[in-house]
Structure 1
Amino acid sequence: MSSDCSICSSITTILYLIPLLFALFVIPFRLISDTRRKSKTVAFFHPYCNAGGGGERVLWAAIRTMQKKFPDRKFYVYSGDTDATKEQILLKARQRFGIELDPTNVHFIYLHWRTLVEARHYPHFTMLFQALAGLVLSLEAWIRMVPEIFIDSMGYPLSLPTFRLAGSKVVAYVHYPTISCDMLDVVESRQQTFNNSSTIAQSNFLSWAKLAYYRLFACLYWLAGKTAHVVMVNGSWTQRHITAIWSRRDVSIVYPPCDVEEFMKIESVAERILEEKKTVRLLSVGQIRPEKNHKLQLEVLHDIKEPLKKKGYNVELCIAGGCRNEEDEQRVKTLKKEAKELGIEKELRFELNIPYENLIDELSKALISIHTMHNEHFGISVVEAMAASTVILSNDSGGPKMDIVKDFDGKCVGYLSITREEYAETVLKIVDEGRSQRDKIREQARKSLSRFSDSAFETHWNKQFENVL
C-alpha cells in the first residue's frame, strides 16, 4: 500500500511541476520574444550555408525567388561560417551554383557555437547529442534575433519548437529525415551499414538497446515535427518517411531547384574523347560524406579497369566533392590510400570544392555520371548530370529510384544499380551499347527533367511560403 502511495505521490508531484516549469520558463521566453521580434523578417537557419552542397542550392534559390516575389520582406541567414564575409559567401553561391542574389536584402547573423553540432564531438549517441546541440545553437540564434518567419532549411529538428515557442511562424524544409523508418529497420534486422557497426549488428543486447534508443529519439523527432506550421520535403522518399514519423498529412513535395536549362546548354565532348582518346570518363559529384559511399566507386573503378583495357579503352574517375571540414579532408586521405591499395591511383582524380565553371567543364567531358549513395533523399547532382548529357548510373533506392531515374513515356532515361557487381556490369554495358543507344537515353533523360527546373521550384516554394504570411 505504501509503495502505491509513493508512486501516486510522485506522479502528482510531476503533474504539479509541469505548469510550474511552464510558468517559470515558457511564458517569460514567449514574452521576451514578443518584445524582440522583428516584423517582416524571414530567417533561414542554415549554419553551414557556405558548404556548397545541394542543400545550399535550395537555400540560395529560395532567397532569390522570395527577393523577387516579396520585396517588402527582409531576409536573414543564421550562419556558422564566421570565417567568411557576406561578400565571400555570396560570391561562392554565384560561382558554385550560378545564383545571383540582391546583396542589399540578404543579411547574415553569425553563430559562434556551431562547433557544438559537429559529429566529431559525439562518438556515441551522435544523433541525440547533435539534436541537443542544435537546440543550443537555435537558442544562440534566438538571442541574436527573433524573426517573424523562421525556416529550418538544414534539418535541426529542435530549432522548430524553439522558434514556435518564441511566436515565430515556423517552416521546415526537410532534405533528409534525422531518423527514418529505414534506419529502424536496419537495426531491427541487424544489418551492418556505415551507421550500424558489425559489433552492434552481431549482438542481441546491443541491437535491442540501439533500437530502444532509436525509438525514443523518433518520439522526440515526432514532437519537434508537430510544431512546424508548414512542412516541405525534397522528394517522394523523404515525404514517405516524414509523413510516417511526424504523423502529418500536410507534407508537400517541393523538388530542389536544378539549373536544368543552364546544364542543357553544355556541349558534351564525352563521345569525342571516347572515340579519339579511347578514354571512358566517369564523374561523381557530391559532398565527401560517408553515406555517399565513395569507396564503392573506387571498387567499381578497379573492377572495370581491366575489362575496358581489353576492349582498348582507358578509364578515369573524377570525384568532384564538397569538403566541409577536417573530417571530410580525412576521408579524402583515406580514399586516396584505398585507391593506391587497389592500384587505381593513376585513374582517380579529386576536384574538391569545385567552382561552378569547372564543374560545367567536368560534366562536358564525362561519359557516365556515377552516384552510389543508398537511399539518397533526392539527388540534385543526378538531375544535373542527366541535363548535361552524361549517362546516369545511380543507386537503385531513394529519390533517384522514386523520382528521377525512372522511365519517361515508357523509355529509358538512365540506369540503376545496387551492388558492386551490378555497377561494374552496367558501366561496361553502357560502353558496349554504342553511341546511338546512348544518344537515345540522353534525349529521353532531358525530356523528363522539366519538373525539376528553377521555375518549377519557384512556383511551388512561393505557394507553400504564402501559407505563413
Structure 2
Amino acid sequence: MVLDCLITFIDQARAFINLAINMILILVICNILWILVLLPILFTKWKKFYAKKREERQQKGTVVGIFHPYCNAGGGGERVLWTVVQAIQNKYPHVHIVIYTGDLDADREWILERTEKVFNMKLRPNIEFVYLYKRKWVEPSTYSHFTLLGQSLGSVWLGFEALNSYIPDIYIDTMGYAFTYPLFKYMAGCLVGSYTHYPIISTDMIRYIHKRTVVNNDNRLIAKFLLFSKAKILYYKLFAYLYGWMGRCADIIMVNSTWTEDHINSIWKCPLKTHRIYPPCSVEHLTALPLLSDEEKGDHIRIVSVAQFRPEKNHPLMLRAMFELRSILKEELWEKIKLICIGSCRDAEDEARVKDLQDLAKHLAMEDNVEFKVNIPYPELVSEMQRGMIGLHTMWNEHFGISIVECMAAGLIMIAHASGGPRCVCWIHFRNYSRNKIHAKRFPFKNVFYDFRADIIEMQEGCVTGFLAQDEMEYAEIISYIVHMHPDERSAIRIAARSSVNRFSGQLFEKEFLRTVEPLFREKQE
C-alpha cells in the first residue's frame, strides 16, 4: 500500500515537473516570437504612424523640440535651456521651437515673464509649450527603491507622451534623459542632440560604494553590509552599461565640464562626437559691477549662497559650518556675520526643505545670523552678490557650478566643495594647519594635492581665485581666514577671480553651441 502510494506520488510529481518545463518552454518561445516577430512589426507600424503625424502637423518648416520637463525651475539648467532657445532664435529665426514641459501650473506668458525676471533674457514669442501630464514618473519620490532605473524608464513613458503630442524634426534634450534618445531617433526619425549637465551614473558613485561610504544616493544599510554593497555595485554596473547604450544613440553630445566629459566618455564611449561646452554664465553684466569696499558694504559680513533648495545642494552643511565658525570667531565679530541663502523652489517639497533649514538654524541658535531668500528677482540677486564678501557652495560632485562662476564675477570670494567641476589646480587640506597658521598673513601653500583637470577655481601661489573645502570644519576655518585677511589680499583674489571667468560667458556659449549643432540643422534643411 505504502509502495503504491509512493509510486503514485512520484508519477504525479514527474507529470507536474514535465508540465512546468513545458510551460517554461512555451513562455520562452513566446518571448522569442515577441522579440523577433511582433516587436519589429510594432516598431515598423510606430515608425509609419509617427511619419504620418509629422506630415499632417500644422507647422511645415523645421521644428526643434527641446525636452526640459522642469523649464520653469529657475536654476542653472534652465539658464542653459533659455540660452539655447535664444541662440536658435538668433541664428535660425524661421525655426519653430517646441518646449516639452511638465509645469502644468504655469502658462506660456508666465514662463516667459519669469525667464525675463530671473535670467534677464527676453525671448521672441515663436515658442510653443507642450505640456506633459506624466512628469511624476521621472521624479525620485515616485520610486522608493531602484530610483535611477525607475526614473530612466519613467522618462521613456514621458517621452512617449511628448512624441504623441508633437513630433519634431530635431530633438534636443537639455536635462540628461538619455533613455528618450532611441525613442525619438529610431521611432520618430528625429536627429538627436544632447546637452548633459550630470551623468545619471558615474564611476565616483561606484567608487564610494566600494569604500562603503554614505553619500546622498546611498543609505547606511547598504554601506554597513558588504553583501548589499556588492549587490548595488552590480546593479550600478549593469545600469551604466544600459545608460551607455542609450547615450550613444545621440547624434551630437554636449557636456558642461571636464568632470562630466570624463564620466560620459567612460560610460557612453563615443568621444569623437562629444563636445565640452561650458554653460552660459552672466559674467558680462556682473564683471561690469563696481567692486565695493568693506565700508560700502555696511557693518555686516555677508556670506552669500546661491543654490536651488534641493537635497544635493547640501544646505545643512552650510549651517553646520556656520556653527563651527561661531566657535572660532570672537563674539563681537560673530555678531557681524550673516549667511544669506538664496535659491528657487520648484514645488512643495522644496518649500518644506526651506522650512526644515529654518528649523535647523533655530536649533543651532543661529536664526539671527541666517536669512533665506526664495525666488527673488534677478536685480535683487545681483545686489546681494555685490554686497557680499564670501560666496558659499557645498554640493558634493557639482558637475560645473554656474552660481560659483557668477559669484566670482560679481566679486565674491568663493568657497566651493573640493570635488567635481569646481576642483582647483592645486588645493590645500586645511586640517594640516593649526588655526594660528590659517590666520597667518601669508597663506601656507606647502602641502597640496595636484589636479590639472580644473574648470573653475584655481589655487596656486600668485593665482588664487577661490578656495575649496570638504567638511564643516574646513569651511569654517577658510571663512575665518578670509575674514581676517587684509583688504588688499581680498581685493587681489576678487580681481584674479573676475579675470578668470570670461571663458564662461553667454556669448561664447552661444557661439560654441551653434557651431556644434550646425550639422543637425544643415542635414535637416538639405
Same fold (TM over 0.5): yes
- Report the residue type matching 2:276 in the other structure: I
CA RMSD of the aligned region, Å? 2.2
TM-score normalised by structure 2 residue count: 0.84
Change in Cα spacing, 1:409 to 1:95, as seen in structure 2 (3 Å) is farther
Asked if the contact 1:285/1:321 (under 8 Å) is kept, the reply is yes
In structure 2, C-alpha distance between the alignment counterparts of 1:117 and 1:389, rounded to whole Å: 37
C-alpha deviation, 1:307, in angstroms: 3.2
Q: Which residue of 2 aligns with 1:71?
A: 93
1:161 counterpart (179, 182, 201): 182
What is the SS of the residue equivalent to 1:146? coil
C-alpha deviation, 1:425, in angstroms: 0.7
Worse-superposed segment, 228-237 or 244-253: 244-253
Asked if the contact 2:98/2:129 (under 8 Å) is kept, the reply is yes
In structure 2, C-alpha distance between the alignment counterparts of 1:428 and 1:259, rounded to whole Å: 29
C-alpha deviation, 1:305, in angstroms: 2.5
1:109 counterpart (127, 130, 136): 130
C-alpha deviation, 1:6, in angstroms: 11
In structure 2, C-alpha distance between the alignment counterparts of 1:310 and 1:300, rounded to whole Å: 16
Deviations along 1:355-405, one digit per CA (max 9) or x if unpaired, are 111101111111000001111000000000000001111111111112000
1:263-342 to 2 correspondence within 5 Å? 263-269=286-292, 271-272=294-295, 276-277=298-299, 279-310=300-331, 312-313=333-334, 314-342=336-364
In structure 1, C-alpha distance between the alignment counterparts of 2:42 and 2:376, rounded to whole Å: 46
Asked if the contact 1:270/1:281 (under 8 Å) is kept, the reply is no
1:454 counterpart (502, 506, 510): 506
In structure 2, C-alpha distance between the alignment counterparts of 1:63 and 1:385, rounded to whole Å: 24
In structure 2, C-alpha distance between the alignment counterparts of 1:78 and 1:124, rounded to whole Å: 27
Aligned identity (percent) is 39
- Report the residue type matching 1:320 in the other structure: I
- Report the residue type matching 1:429 in the other structure: Y
C-alpha deviation, 1:24, in angstroms: 2.5
Q: How many residues align?
A: 465
Q: Which residue of 2 aligns with 1:23?
A: 40
C-alpha deviation, 1:309, in angstroms: 3.5
Q: Which residue of 1 aligns with 2:283?
A: 260
C-alpha deviation, 1:266, in angstroms: 2.7
C-alpha deviation, 1:13, in angstroms: 6.6
1:365-384 to 2 correspondence within 5 Å? 365-384=387-406
1:180 counterpart (192, 202, 210): 202
What is the SS of the residue equivalent to 2:172? strand
Change in Cα spacing, 1:371 to 1:196, as seen in structure 2 (3 Å) is same
1:90 counterpart (105, 112, 123): 112
In structure 1, C-alpha distance between the alignment counterparts of 2:214 and 2:512, rounded to whole Å: 38
TM-score normalised by structure 1 residue count: 0.94
Deviations along 1:284-325, one digit per CA (max 9) or x if unpaired, are 101111111111100111111343344635111011011111
Q: Which residue of 1 aligns with 2:428?
A: none
Worse-superposed segment, 70-79 or 205-214: 205-214
Q: Which residue of 2 aligns with 1:128?
A: 149
Q: Which residue of 2 aligns with 1:349?
A: 371
In structure 2, C-alpha distance between the alignment counterparts of 1:377 and 1:423, rounded to whole Å: 20
Q: Which residue of 2 aligns with 1:43?
A: 65
Worse-superposed segment, 316-325 or 23-32: 23-32
In structure 2, C-alpha distance between the alignment counterparts of 1:360 and 1:19, rounded to whole Å: 59
In structure 2, C-alpha distance between the alignment counterparts of 1:270 and 1:45, rounded to whole Å: 44
Structure 2: gaps spanning 5 or more residues: 1-17, 55-59, 424-453, 522-526
In structure 2, C-alpha distance between the alignment counterparts of 1:241 and 1:294, rounded to whole Å: 26
The answer to whether residue 75 in structure 2 is matched with residue 53 in structure 1 is yes
Asked if the contact 2:80/2:279 (under 8 Å) is kept, the reply is yes
1:34 counterpart (38, 42, 51): 51
C-alpha deviation, 1:458, in angstroms: 0.7
2:102 counterpart (74, 80, 92): 80
Asked if the contact 1:270/1:366 (under 8 Å) is kept, the reply is no
Deviations along 1:205-249, one digit per CA (max 9) or x if unpaired, are 211221222122112211110110000000100000001111111
Change in Cα spacing, 1:268 to 1:309, as seen in structure 2 (3 Å) is farther
In structure 2, C-alpha distance between the alignment counterparts of 1:409 and 1:96, rounded to whole Å: 37
What is the SS of the residue equivalent to 1:404? coil
1:215-254 to 2 correspondence within 5 Å? 215-249=237-271, 250-254=273-277
Asked if the contact 1:254/1:461 (under 8 Å) is kept, the reply is yes
Q: Which residue of 2 aligns with 1:467?
A: 519
Deviations along 1:85-117, one digit per CA (max 9) or x if unpaired, are 1111011111111111101x1111111111222
Deviations along 1:124-171, one digit per CA (max 9) or x if unpaired, are 111111111111111000000110000111121211111012100011
Change in Cα spacing, 1:26 to 1:466, as seen in structure 2 (3 Å) is same
In structure 2, C-alpha distance between the alignment counterparts of 1:11 and 1:409, rounded to whole Å: 66
